[in-house]
Structure 1
Amino acid sequence: MSQSNLFVEVHILQSLPPSNVNRDDSGTPKQAVYGGARRARVSSQAWKRATRTEYARNVAEADRATRTKRIAALLGERLARGAAEGGAGLENGQADRLAAALLEPLGITKSSKKDDQSAYLLFFGKKQLDALVTMLDGRAAELSALADNDLKEEVKKLPVVATLSTGHPAEVALFGRMVADLPALNVDASVQVAHALSTHTVRTEFDYYTAVDDENTEDHGAGMIGTVEFNSSTLYRYAVLGVHQLRDNLTDTVETRRAAVRFIDAFTRSMPTGHQNSFAHRTLPHLVMLTVRSDQPVNLVSAYEEPITGVTGLAAESVVRLADELNTVSDTWGNKPLRVLATYTAVSDKVTEVLGPPLPFPALLDSVGTLVDEWLDTGALAPIETAVADA
C-alpha cells in the first residue's frame, strides 16, 4: 500500500525568566519585529543544537553523530587502532596518509589555517567511520604502502561515497546534511525548526554586576564591574517532523518510530545554554501540543501577530490564543489536523474542547509513538470517528 505523507508538528509555549539564552554579536539577546512589535527571539540554529545535544544524551556513544572539521583525524585514529579495537593497526603516519587519500573523493580539502582540519564542517555518524575501515577489507596495510599516484587510483575503486551515504544515525536522518561540493552526500532533513518568538512585546534590560577580590583587604572597591543584557519572555516554539522523510533516511521502521518519539522528547526538554550559569533559566513548557497532518505543515505563530498583553497572565492568555488560532485555521482553510494531542494545565473548557483532555507528557509520547506505528504499518491513519468507535 502506498503511503501518504505524515507530519507531526510540535507547538510549545514556554516561559523563560530573566535570561540571555541566544545573543547576537554585541551580546544583546536576539530579537525580531513581528506584528509591528519587538519580540524576544531564539534562533532555530540555537534550538536545533540544544535539541541534538539533548537527543544524544540517550544514545550510546558509538551510535552518535558528530559535526566537525576533524574527520580526517578521527578516521586516522581508527586506522591506527589495533584489529581488536576495530582498526587496521597502522602506524600514525601511515594512518593519516591513508585517511587523507580516502577522504579526497569527498572533496574535503584542508583548512588554509589548520592542517589537521577540513575547510568545512561535515555531519556524519561515528559508525560510518567504522564502516570506512571495514570497507577496506583488510587491505589497509597494502594500500598505505602504495605510492601516491597508485594509492589515488586504488581509492577511486572503493565505494567511499556510498559508504558515507548509507547507515545514517538518527541525528543525521533528523537534521539532514548538506555538502555543496558533493551532492551525493546530501541528506534531506526530516525536521524543520522555526525561530522561537515571544508571544508579547519585550524590552531588553541590563544587569549591572560587580565581583569582589577575595584577597583584597585594603579597600572596599570591586575587583570587576560589568553589565549583561537580558530579557524575560513567554515563547512560542514550533517544529515539524516529516515521518515519511525520516523513514526514507533511516530505512528501518523500528528506528523510525524510536527516533520520532525521541525527537519530540528532546525538542520539548532542550534549552540553549547561553549565560546559563548566570541566570539558571532552564524551565519546562506550559503547553506541548502535537498536531498530526498528511497535507502540509501549519505554523500557528499567527496567533500572536497581535501581541499578548498579559491582563490575566502571559502564559494562560497564550494558551487560549493558540487554541483559538488552531480552530480558526481549521475552519477557514478546511485542513483540520488528523489528531491533536496536548500536555497542558487546563485553563478553560473552551481550550479543552479544542485541544482534547490534557495528557501527562509520557502518555503523549506513547500516543504519538502508537500513531507513527499505525502509519508505518498501514500507510494511513484511521479516521478519528472509527478509532473512537473501535475503542
Structure 2
Amino acid sequence: MSLFIDIHVLQTLPPSNPNRDDTGAPKSATFGGVRRMRISSQAIKRATREDFEGKIADSNYGVRTKKIVELVARKISEQRPDLDSRAVELAEMGLKSIGFKLTEPRGAKSEQELKESGFLVFLSAKQIEHVAEALISVADADDPAAAFKELKPRDLVDTNHSIDIALFGRMVAEPNSLNVDAACQVAHAIGVGAVENEYDYYTAVDDEKKRNEDADEGAGMIGTIEFASATVYRYATINVDMLRENLGDDNVADHAIELFIDSFVRSMPTGKITTFANRTLPDAVLVQVRDDQPINMSGAFEDPIVAGSKGYAEPAIARFVEFESELRNLTGLKAVESLAAWTTPRGAKFGQVGKQVRLVDLGGATVEAVRGTR
C-alpha cells in the first residue's frame, strides 16, 4: 500500500511582491481564463528548505554548491591536519573518480582559486564526510587513486542522504547514476481570483541636501515597485514510501515529514519583504493522509472567485470545502486521515473536512496519523 500526504493551504497576502519575474513584477499565470498571482514551486521549496536550518542536525542537512573540492579538502584538513598540503589534490582525485567533472572557476581572478564542478552539486554533510574519510584512508597508499577506486566511491555519495535531498531530490548531469528521485512535489501557488498589479511610486530624500537652503528641492532618487495582493492556494504532496526509501530510516522519515509540514505551512518566499512586511499565516490548512493517490484541488478555483464585500478568503474557504466534499462523494476516494487547522474564524469551515488541530501541532499530528497506518 502506497502512502501519500497531501497539504492544502489557503493564504491571504496583502500588497506584496514575494516572487518576482525578470522584469521585477510579481509572477503570474493564466488559469481559468484570467491572470492570477503566482508563486513558483522553486521559490516555495527554497523558502521551506531555508526554514529547516537550525531545526535539524547538520548531518541531516544538505548543501548545494559548485565548490565541492573546497568542502572535501576542508574536511580532510580538519580530520588530518598533516594532510593539509595534499588535501586539495586528494579531493580533486576523489571527486573525479566518483565521476564529477571539475573545471577552473569562471572569471577566476587568482590561480589560487580551487576547481569547481561544472554544475551545482547537492550533497549531504554525511556524504562529504564519507568522501573525506575514504580519501584519508588511502592517502598513504602507494597508489591512492587505485586504492580509492576499490572502495566503490560512488556509493559514498549515494547513501545517507540528507532530509532535504530525500524530499526535493537531486539531479546530477554527470554521473546521472547519482540522481535521487524527489519524495515531495510542490505546486506553483496560484491566486483564487484575478489579479491586477499596481505600482508604488516612491522618492528618497537626500538628507544633506535637505539641510542646505540653497540646494534644489528635488528628490535624491525616485522609482517604482510593482506589487499585487491575493488569496493563494498552495499545494504539496509527500510520497511517504519513497521518503523512507531515500532516507533508509523510518524514524528520520517521520522527522522529515514533521519538519516539512511545519516549514511549508509557515514559510514563504521573502522577495521585497522589507518593503511590504507581508508575513501572514495561512487562513486554513488541510492535511490528508491517503492510500490511493495524491490529489491537487486547484480545480476548486478554475472558476475565478470574484471579490465582494467579504473579499477573497472567506468565499475561497467555502468553495474549497464544497469542492473537497463533492469530489469525495463523486469519486469514492477518501483520505485515511484528514487534519485541519485555521487561524481566523472564517477558516472554521475547514472543520467540515478534517479534524481540528492547532497549526503548531499539525506536523506532529500528521506523523501520528502516518504511524497509525503501519
Is 1:64 the equivalent of 2:68?
no
Residue 322 of structure 1: aligned partner: 320
> Structure 1 residue 359: deviation in Å?
2.1
Is 1:128 the equivalent of 2:121?
no
Residue 277 of structure 1: aligned partner: 274
> Structure 1 residue 187: deviation in Å?
1.1
Inter-CA distance 16–90: structure 2 relative to 1 (3 Å threshold): same
Is 1:338 the equivalent of 2:331?
no
Residue type at the aligned position of 1:116: K
> Structure 1 residue 109: deviation in Å?
2.3
| Alpha-carbon separation, structure 2, partners of 1:13 and 1:49 | 19
| Alpha-carbon separation, structure 1, partners of 2:121 and 2:93 | 17
Of 165, 168, 178, the residue aligned with 2:171 is: 178
Is 1:303 the equivalent of 2:300?
yes
> Structure 1 residue 57: deviation in Å?
2.9
Match of 2:223, SS state, is strand
Match of 2:303, SS state, is coil
Residue 215 of structure 1: aligned partner: 208
Inter-CA distance 87–325: structure 2 relative to 1 (3 Å threshold): farther
Q: Deviations over 1:201-241 (max 9, x none)?
A: 00111111111111112232111111111101111000001
| Alpha-carbon separation, structure 2, partners of 1:112 and 1:28 | 32
| Aligned residues of 1:87 and 1:133 also touching (Cα < 8 A) | no
Residue type at the aligned position of 1:135: A
Is 1:95 the equivalent of 2:87?
yes
Q: Which runs of 5+ in 2 are unaligned?
A: 109-113
Q: Deviations over 1:343-367 (max 9, x none)?
A: 02454886533x1353212333332
More off after superposition, 233-242 vs 356-365: 356-365
Q: Which runs of 5+ in 1 are unaligned?
A: 379-391
Residue 236 of structure 1: aligned partner: 233
Residue 386 of structure 1: aligned partner: none
Inter-CA distance 203–44: structure 2 relative to 1 (3 Å threshold): same
Is 1:13 the equivalent of 2:10?
yes
- What is the aligned length? 361
Of 246, 259, 264, the residue aligned with 2:261 is: 264
| Aligned residues of 1:8 and 1:243 also touching (Cα < 8 A) | yes
CA RMSD across the alignment:
1.9
Using the size of structure 1 for normalisation, the TM-score is: 0.88
Using the size of structure 2 for normalisation, the TM-score is: 0.91
Residue 111 of structure 2: aligned partner: none
> Structure 1 residue 252: deviation in Å?
0.8
Residue type at the aligned position of 1:163: L
Residue 41 of structure 1: aligned partner: 38
Q: Deviations over 1:43-91 (max 9, x none)?
A: 000000000000223123343211111111111111122xxxx345323
| Alpha-carbon separation, structure 2, partners of 1:71 and 1:128 | 11
| Alpha-carbon separation, structure 1, partners of 2:87 and 2:354 | 59
| Aligned residues of 2:77 and 2:84 also touching (Cα < 8 A) | yes
Inter-CA distance 18–171: structure 2 relative to 1 (3 Å threshold): same
| Aligned residues of 1:101 and 1:155 also touching (Cα < 8 A) | no
> Structure 1 residue 264: deviation in Å?
0.3
